[in-house]
Amino acid sequence: MKYIVNDACIGCGMCASTCPEVFSIDGDVAVAIDSEVPDLLLDSAAEAQEGCPVSAIERI
pLDDT tens string 2-26: 999 999 999 999 999 999 999 999 9
Q: How far apart are CA 33 and CA 12, in angstroms?
A: 17
Distance (Å, whole) CA 30 – CA 11: 6
Radius of gyration (C-alpha) of the chain in whole angstroms: 10
Q: Report if pTM > 0.75.
A: yes
pLDDT of residue 36: 98
Q: How far is CA 27 from CA 3, 9, 30, 31, 37, in A?
A: 19, 12, 8, 10, 22
Taking the alpha carbons of 15, 17, 18, 21 in that order, is the dihedral positive or negative? Answer: positive
